[in-house]
Amino acid sequence: MAFLFRSGSIDNSKMDAAASHQIHTPEEAVSRIAYLSSDVIVSVQPSLATDSPFSSHLKRYASRKDKSIVAKNADAVPEIQSVRHNADPLLSVFAPIRSGKLVSVTTTSSILLASISHLYKLANYPVVLHVSLEPRTFADYSVITSIRNSGWTFLHSESLQEAQDIALTAHALAIHTGKGVIHFFAPSTSTSDKPVAPEDPSVVRGLLDIESVRRFQASTISASGIYADDGHVAVSSRVPEPLTDAEHQADTAGGLQAPVSAVASKVTSAGTSVKTSRASESGDSEASVSVATTVETAPPQITSADIYESATRIWRQLEAAVGRSYSAFEYTGPPNATNALFIFGSDAGSFGEVLDSAKPDDVFANAAIITPRLYRPWIGSKLVQVIPKSIKRIAVLEQIQRKTTKWGPTLIDVLTSIKSGPGGVEHIVGYQLGYVDPKVITQALRGIFQNLTSPKPIQNLEVGVREAPEEESQYTTKPSTHETAYNKILQQLFGKRSYVANAIKSQHAGISATISASPEFGFGSLLARKDLRSRFVAEAKAAASSKDFITDAPKNWLAKWALAAEDPSKASEIADDVIARLETDGSPLSQKLLANKALFRKESLWLTGSDAWAYDLGNSGVHHVLASGENVNMLIIDSTPYSEKAAADAERRKKDIGLYAMNFGNVYVASTAVYSSYTQVLQALLEADKFDGPSVVLAYLPYFGEGDSPLTVLQETKKAVEAGYWPLYRWNPDNEKKGEPNFTLDSELIKLELKKFLERDNQLTQLMKKEPKFAASLAQDYGTEVRAQQKRKAKDAYNQLLEGLLGAPLTILYASDNGNAATLAKRLGNRGRARGLKTCVMAMEDYPVEDLAGEENIVFLASTAGQGEFPQNGLAFWDAVKDSTELDLATVNYSVFGLGDSHYWPRKEDKIFYNKPAKDLDRVLANFGGKRLADIGLGDDQDPDGFQTGYQEWEPKIWAALGVDKVEGLPEEPPPVTNEDIKLASNYLRGTIVEGLNDTSTGALSAWDQQLTKFHGTYMQDDRDVRDERKAQGLEPAYSFMIRCRLAGGVATPKQWVQMDDISTSLGNETMKLTTRQTFQFHGVVKGKLKPAMQAINRALMSTIAACGDVNRNVMCSSLPTQSKYHKQVHTVSQKISDHLLPATTAYHEIWLTDDDNKKTQVAGEAVQDFEPLYGPTYLPRKFKITIAIPPHNDTDVYAHDIGLIAIKGKDGNLEGFNILAGGGMGATHNNKKTYPQMGRMFGYCSAEDAHIVCEKIMLVQRDHGDRKNRKHARLKYTIDDMGVDVFRGKVEELWGKKFAEERPFEFKSNVDTFGWQKDENGLNHFTFFIENGRIEDTPDFRMKTGLREIAQLGKGEFRLTGNQHLILSNIADEDLPAIKELMKSYKLDNLQFSGLRLSSSACVAFPTCGLAMAESERYLPVLISKLESCLEENGLRQDSIVMRMTGCPNGCARPWLAEVAFVGKAYGAYNMYLGGGYHGQRLNKLYRSSIKEDEILEIMKPLLKQYALERLEGERFGDFCIRAGIIKATTDGRNFHDNIMFQVAEEGSDEE
């Protein structure tokens, strides 16, 4: 039999029986009601990545776009604002509630105490707080009693059904009374409830009183802020109607007729006499009225009586609708009971069950239970009314874990409400209710009643145990795994010296996680720690002269230590020695000192916190620390993603802690971001530690969820830093003493607030004086909306230009991906002008959309990006046009031309992507009433002349439509400028590079110079991660330069390694890339640092000349760690070829290596005429690559280069000569069958002495016969294929004057590296490191860069870069091994526990720097491999080497076409997949699938790997297997690379159907 109000006994018959979905938890019930009844729901979550029991439901409704009942607009979906529990959630309530939105909050009780100040201010608004009490297993009601006087109405529910009904009551009551309502419940009480039907929306609508809702929504409350009382008073939505006499009598008469049984108990004593006048309540001596309502002064205020009456009304209405009744106090039990339990806790149901089944002689037989439903306002008179006259004794059970007053608050409530004395209630006894195990409930009840019924009951007895079985709360302040990065750095920097007050694992007995994570707590414990140390130092000093040691050593060492105790580094140095002596000594005094041995170090004291400290509550704690002046350090991690910062509510007033701290003057402040600059983080932490006073290091680490990949964190960080939202800076008040500016800016841009501060503080002027080059970047600041103004200016300038010209206007807008649409548009503009039209040509993104409706004639040229998307520079325009609701183009004539590739997306369902942007635009413009000048024109790359075919048809139609098609005497158009022209006009690669470098107004170089600098080994790039963000800020792209060194054969000295490392840190982006051509590449070198970087490279005795450009590039050579002598001989040849083919121009030295003062050297002008004996003024038609492989290792992919030399060893073990291959090459263009990768063809053998001459002659034949018209057809491979191998070889032999000999036999076994230690023939040691994709960088988890640097600083051996982007530490003598091995171990550099697949993988750079990248590569391949590794494991393939490569585009930098399996970027997130390459690089692969994404890649790879594991033959390689198993056809020559593609045949077949 169920007792009380268990849901099992509820009659649901009136609910919508058809409702299929049942509600299972109270949180779900509450969420649904809150969703239906609110405009805004503040959903408090453990973290943004972890849902609360409410938020998962709320998000579900929102994702289904379920409608709210109260929404003004019928289609409106309530807004869900997710807020972290420790980020001052109630701050989010103010703005919406004051603007007339109904707000509810779903939360646990953990936020309540900290939010008291807000609660007082929000009490007079109709906000509803649904609170599930924590801890979940055993709720603590003291949180509710602590805030009971905050002026809110409190409603309590116990079962699942009640949670739903009372939630609804709460919303209705808030609307009716205009006051805040807190609905609280302990979720554990309904765990065994049966699911309930969802409340019928019509019932909800009826109770909410939509008229009142609309009245509230129509009002806005003006308030200046959230820190002062805004004086708002709650106003009832309606004048309470007096109850009818009948109702009145029913109440007074029936009130005491308590039911005799549980079932009958459903008829409760609800709504006994309701008095509508305030006077009657306040004058009622029997009742106490909640403080909340008594503080209200000004009319028309809501009284306790009003609230009570409204609640009663709502319950009556609810009862009529659903048959369930509720009242302010629920009395359940026999009408003649003498004993009753008043329970304020979660166990009422369990107690009820025991009472229900009590035997007649049980001490608790016939007892009743009373529970509060309307807890506040507490209407004492109503309590009196529900209690039968027969009751003599009441036990008040309060479930309060931490008691702060002698008498429980509920006991006091009851005592003040009920007069005890003879004839009435005789005893009211308070109990503290702890956790009662269900098995001992009877026993507990017996104890309670025995005391209650004794003649002198004892007050304040404890029932049950204090500690409930523990369940870990979700609402801890446990930092995300992302955030451990900074803690790791602290450990790395300060090691044993670091002391973090609130470290993740530290536990503080009896202190909740929330409290121990507060700045005040941490600060207190750091002070205690400091205090402890000063006492310890005194003790240790005293011990230095003590006689209590057994040995002498401790005294001497302690004396020595005492002198250095306050010096962090010296104290640490001596600490270990002192400790060792004390340990040996073993005396009690030694033991005593050793108990605190950590204190022998002068600790670096840290307090770590989150951006929760940026909100009011945390911020006051931060203030304490800063104001204290104490030498403690704070590390505050901000994890709000940049892309969400705009969504943040302005009212939440997140404080800028950095700015706040700088205003203090005596605080060290740094703003850092580990994913932007690792070095800057280190520097800041070290400076903070050193600073004698408070320090704040702000650390940015944005993430959306726990599962975010580091790539997401990196991209978010970069956007924030690059846009100036999160500037990197350091503020050191100590600098002033040295005459230095306090402020150091470590990133490029700052935000306005910061700039203002600096201006005020005079720091800006100081800084600019010291670093004039900073002026430009400091002058720019984040937050100025300049973009719109820029557009306006550009357009106005155009209009001015056109003024006075005759002829019809024609505006030409383009959106261009690779420049074709832009070129076409500009040419169209020129031709239009020649025909007398007033033409204006702009990129769509530069065009002010508001001008569109005013155009007369406008044409658009749009190419196709990604998956049928607009190119970047057309996206914003397209978004504005398509989303416009008021564009009227009735007077506009337009036409659209699109550029696309009808075969780019081979799948039938993807055909829609072909020229989609142009088609969409054409359609939308017509919908807005535009008139077509000409039908849409479509350019298709597959047409005989590419897009030109379609264009030739379209353009004349435009002229005809504008009436200028028959113009006579048009001038001849100049041919487009080609790379050949640029080279010719450059005066041997000079161009205007010097002028460009001196121009500080832009970070870029001119387009021509960009082509020329390639020959000097540097490319201009821009950071694609932040392109959009910078554009939005009105900034030019984040330009920087990639610099590639020239390092024949990839051999560097340790000193060179250190020098390269320095360059990357001080002039680049703190990382280095070891390239597939065995050299160093730096990224992120800004223009101003380009020359210093070139000079530094030169000082390292390296060069960058001819590392890129149409010349012979870096010459490669197998690394061969096992035969050093032989390697040396072959390596010498590679150097010789490299030197021999070097361009002769002196421009390189003039531009990069002269001092600014050295005016002697002529740079510009025509005075210096160089002579290029090998290249001539136009150099080569295209890049030229040479490599040497030493069999059996094909680690340099000898078949993939213009010239491949295969070293042939003589019988004496020395190098004898080379087999020469020519005409290999990787670059291709997607879907362009005229382009293909090709393998080098065998030309024959030559001696070692002739090798460089042979290379020269091959290069010269290519120089003279290569295609200089079409760069896509200019590589040597096409020249040889067009000419035929024999003819080409003949020409080489003619120039050489000798003939190639018969090729010599050789054998390759693999093209991957052999990792780990190997010994060579001289007994020297070589270690091959695994450097994933060649990226040398430090991360908090793996400090590879620092480790390698330290090894290099030992100055031993040499560093060989491999063609697979790995690194060999070579020529290490046995005696040097121990030191090196130790370093390797400490930096985890000896770890080779990777899968064979990972070890054999390689990827090109691609995003964010490579301008050609269509998809991620280097940053994504490791992620993809991780996703395949479990499958490798399952199939026993973990150790198997499978060559897998990835590139971001078909240019093929990582030589993907030779891999057994390859992925080549097609669009962001989509790749073409290739299979069947030869394991030792001897065979090209073939296209297997086109444009597939990760899920498809995994779907294909997993079964394929399984099949390979099961069906492979002994020793059979994956690529070979794919061919034998018929999965792919073999590519036998580059010219059949595009043939026999199996899946396309099938696709085309299906097309025909």
Residues that bind ligand SF4 (CB under 6 A): 1404-1406, 1410, 1412-1413, 1417, 1447-1449, 1451-1453
Angle, helices 657-664/616-628, rounded to nearest 10 degrees: 30
d(CA 1244, CA 560): 76
Q: 925 vs 1043, which CB is nearer to ligand SF4?
A: 1043
All residues at 6 or more sequence positions from 1105 whose CB lies less than 8 Å from its CB, including other chains? 1015, 1016, 1017, 1046, 1142, 1143, 1148
CB of 469 to ligand SF4, least distance (A): 57
DSSP 3-state percent helix, strand, coil across the chain (nearest 5): 40, 15, 40
Catalytic residue among 791, 1044, 1360, 1455: 1044
Q: 7 vs 820, which CB is nearer to ligand SF4?
A: 820
CB of 1409 to ligand SF4, least distance (A): 8
Q: What is the DSSP string of 793-830?
A: HHHHHHHHHHTT--S-EEEEEEE-SSSHHHHHHHHHHH
Max CA separation in the chain (angstroms): 132
| Nearest of 1420, 1414, 1459, 1424 to residue 1312 by alpha carbon | 1459
Q: 514 vs 1447, which CB is nearer to ligand SF4?
A: 1447
CB of 977 to ligand SF4, least distance (A): 23
Q: Are 347 and 399 in contact (CB under 8 A)?
A: yes
Where are any strands of DSSP class E within 1039-1085? 1039-1044, 1051-1052, 1072-1074, 1080-1085
Q: 831 vs 1024, which CB is nearer to ligand SF4?
A: 1024
Exposed, middle or buried: residue 1462 (CB in 10 Å: 0-12, 13-18, 19+)? buried
Q: 70 vs 1406, which CB is nearer to ligand SF4?
A: 1406
CB of 1453 to ligand SF4, least distance (A): 3
The question of whether 1183 is a catalytic residue gets the answer: yes
Can you read off the two tokens belonging to residue 18?
């058809």
Q: Are 1481 and 1519 in contact (CB under 8 A)?
A: no
Q: What is the DSSP letter of 23?
A: B
Catalytic residue among 1404, 1419, 1455, 1489: 1404
| Nearest of 132, 35, 48 to residue 83 by alpha carbon | 48
d(CA 973, CA 111): 73
- The H or E element spanning position 1368 is strand 1367-1372
CB of 1057 to ligand SF4, least distance (A): 23
Q: Are strands 1051-1052 and 1358-1361 parallel, antiparallel or unpaired?
A: antiparallel
The question of whether 1234 is a catalytic residue gets the answer: no
Position 1395, amino acid: S
Q: In what order do the strands lie in the sheet with 461-463?
A: 329-332, 368-372, 339-344, 393-398, 427-433, 461-463
CB of 1116 to ligand SF4, least distance (A): 16
The question of whether 1431 is a catalytic residue gets the answer: no
| Nearest of 1082, 1114, 1109, 1077 to residue 1096 by alpha carbon | 1082
Q: Which neighbouring-strand residues pair with 1160? A: none
d(CA 867, CA 1492): 12
Can you read off the two tokens belonging to residue 326?
């509720």
CB of 1227 to ligand SF4, least distance (A): 9
Q: 750 vs 1406, which CB is nearer to ligand SF4?
A: 1406
d(CA 388, CA 365): 16
CB of 1417 to ligand SF4, least distance (A): 6
| Nearest of 104, 32, 20, 41 to residue 66 by alpha carbon | 32
Q: Are 377 and 307 in contact (CB under 8 A)?
A: yes
The question of whether 1185 is a catalytic residue gets the answer: yes
CB of 1041 to ligand SF4, least distance (A): 15
Catalytic residue among 840, 1045, 1453, 1522: 1453
CB of 1203 to ligand SF4, least distance (A): 20
Can you read off the two tokens belonging to residue 659?
């700015």
- The H or E element spanning position 462 is strand 461-463
Catalytic residue among 1073, 1185, 1268, 1517: 1185
Give the residue carrying structure tokens 């390759």: 1308
CB of 1449 to ligand SF4, least distance (A): 3
d(CA 1070, CA 918): 42
The question of whether 1453 is a catalytic residue gets the answer: yes
CA 326 to chain CA centroid, Å, is: 49
Q: 307 vs 1449, which CB is nearer to ligand SF4?
A: 1449
All residues at 6 or more sequence positions from 99 whose CB lies less than 8 Å from its CB, including other chains? 220, 221
Q: 130 vs 1077, which CB is nearer to ligand SF4?
A: 1077
CB atoms within 10 A of CB 1193: 24
Q: 91 vs 1404, which CB is nearer to ligand SF4?
A: 1404
Q: 812 vs 1453, which CB is nearer to ligand SF4?
A: 1453
CB of 1454 to ligand SF4, least distance (A): 6
Q: Which neighbouring-strand residues pair with 1257? A: none
CB of 1407 to ligand SF4, least distance (A): 8
Direct distance between the N- and C-terminal alpha carbons of the chain, in angstroms, rounded to an integer: 69
Q: 425 vs 865, which CB is nearer to ligand SF4?
A: 865
Q: How many CA atoms lie within 13 A of 85 on its CB side?
A: 29
The question of whether 1410 is a catalytic residue gets the answer: yes
Residue positions annotated with a catalytic role: 1044, 1113, 1183, 1185, 1404, 1410, 1449, 1453
